[in-house]
């Protein structure tokens, strides 16, 4: 099979496309023919050995796939629930930039037959994270104000759509007018260009001085403290990620003064610890897709040989919505 390999943690430009042996199938695993692989920010870190998981090289990056089941490992048929030919999605953390991948059967999620495989490939990580963050972690209520940072990025844009479906007023915040336009088309009520004016002032202006009820923060860096200062009484500031690079330190007195909470979000562990709740989230998400309430945006598709270009676009802050490596190209 063809695979894009990271051989020495040399970063994006050191990835090489090669013929590789198909992965061995362990008991409890299934083999997938990869249709498409979603591109996510952690992919840019894992190829430099800077992510929380450090697979032994050589390995393929690519953390979430849509694929067709081609072979069942020992014990899978007896356990039931999956058959050869099923279209499924799986979050694999790495291994997806390849024509085949072996995945534990327990991690598979069937995706609706009507869904484009490229859309399915980019759906799990972003929508799964945003749904968990806004429901289980923030308990976002109808009528509340949700501020989304990095609102045209992968998880950000998913948060905009889910926030609207949950009945919130959504304020999108991003670094360019073009990105804000993407968030508006996804349903955001208002937009703030945080490269043009201070975030806190803009949020206060838009909320009559009250501040946001919930902040969805996948960006980190200097924006986190600004967003916390723009959080209202009883608010919830969701710590989702640090795409800006720096892990912020927060003045703890702000939480006291606002009676607000800083709430961590770790979707990957939620999936392992509360699988039934995660499946229920996806039942709801797929229903919302079928109803047309969610319209996942795949803005660019790349051939396997060009997956490095996709990683550069993400690392260079150029991506909107999802970038996907499409194995049919
Ligand atoms: N906690 C969890 O369970 C979980 C799950 C999935 C992802 N994450 C994390 O969420 C973050 C976003 O992931 P994603 O896949 O949505 O990434 P993405 O599509 O690249 O979006 C990240 C956004 O961050 C903003 N940003 C600010 N400074 C940046 C920089 N120096 N480089 C790149 N982007 C920058 C960009 O928006 P502007 O240009 O508008 O500022 C960009 O759209 C990552 O840190 C990821 O690890 C966490």
Rounded Cα–Cα distance for residues 110 and 186 (Å)? 25
Q: Which residues line ligand 1 (CB under 6 A)?
A: 40-42, 125, 129, 150, 152-156, 174-175, 179, 218-219, 240-245, 265-268, 314, 317, 319
Is the preceding omega at residue 58 within 30 degrees of 0, hence cis?
yes
pLDDT on residue 80: 85
Q: What pLDDT shows up at residue 81?
A: 87
d(CA 5, CA 94): 11
Mutate to test the pocket of ligand 1, among 50, 219, 271 (most ligand atoms within 8 A of CB): 219
Which pLDDT score, from 0 to 100, does residue 224 have? 98
- Torsion angle in degrees (nearest 10) through CA of 215, 216, 218, 224: 0
CB contact at 8 A, 296 and 323: no
Q: What is the pTM of this model?
A: 0.96
What per-residue string of b and e applies to 276-301 under the rule 16 or more CB within 10 Å gives b?
A: eebeebbeebbebbeeeebebbbebb
**What distance lies between CA 206 and its chain's CA centroid?**
27
pLDDT of residue 275: 93
Q: pLDDT, tens digit, for every residue of 191-213?
A: 999 999 999 999 999 999 999 99
Going from the N-terminus, what domains does the chain have, and what CATH number goes with each? 2-123+296-326 (3.90.180.10), 127-268 (3.40.50.720)
**Per-residue CA distances from 244 to 99, 149, 248 (Å):** 32, 11, 10
Q: Which of 50, 124, 243, 267 to mutate to test the pocket of ligand 1 (most atoms within 8 A of CB)?
A: 243
Residues of the chain with confidence (pLDDT) below 70: none
pLDDT of residue 174: 98
The pLDDT, as a whole number, for residue 93 is 94
């Amino acid at each position: 099979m063809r695979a894009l390999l990271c051989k020495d943690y040399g970063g994006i430009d050191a990835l090489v496309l090669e013929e590789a042996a198909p992965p061995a199938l362990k008991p409890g695993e299934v083999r997938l023919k990869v249709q498409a692989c979603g591109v996510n920010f952690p992919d840019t870190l894992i190829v430099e050995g800077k992510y929380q998981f450090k697979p032994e090289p050589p390995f393929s990056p690519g953390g979430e796939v849509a694929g067709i089941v081609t072979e069942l490992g020992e014990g899978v048929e007896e356990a039931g629930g999956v058959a050869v030919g099923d279209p499924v999605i799986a979050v694999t953390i790495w291994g997806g930039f390849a024509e085949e991948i072996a995945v534990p059967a327990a991690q598979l999620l069937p995706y609706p037959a009507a869904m484009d495989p490229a859309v399915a490939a980019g759906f799990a990580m972003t929508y799964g994270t945003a749904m968990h963050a806004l429901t289980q972690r923030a308990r976002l209520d109808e009528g509340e104000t949700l501020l989304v940072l990095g609102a045209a990025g992968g998880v950000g844009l998913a948060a905009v759509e889910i926030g609207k479906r949950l009945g919130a007023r959504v304020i999108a915040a991003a670094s360019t007018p073009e990105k804000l336009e993407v968030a508006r088309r996804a349903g955001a009520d208002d937009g703030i260009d945080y490269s043009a004016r201070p975030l806190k002032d803009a949020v206060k202006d838009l909320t009559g001085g009250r501040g946001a009820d919930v902040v969805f923060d996948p960006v980190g860096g200097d924006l986190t403290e600004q967003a916390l200062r723009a959080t209202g009484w009883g608010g919830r500031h969701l710590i989702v990620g640090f795409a800006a690079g720096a892990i912020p330190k927060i003045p703890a007195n702000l939480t006291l003064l606002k009676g607000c909470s800083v709430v961590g979000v770790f979707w990957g562990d939620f999936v392992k610890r509360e699988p039934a709740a995660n499946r229920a989230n996806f039942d709801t998400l797929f229903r919302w897709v079928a109803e047309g309430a969610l319209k996942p945006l795949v803005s660019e598709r790349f051939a396997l040989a060009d997956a490095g270009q996709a990683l550069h676009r993400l690392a260079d802050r150029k991506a909107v919505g999802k970038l996907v490596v499409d194995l049919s190209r």
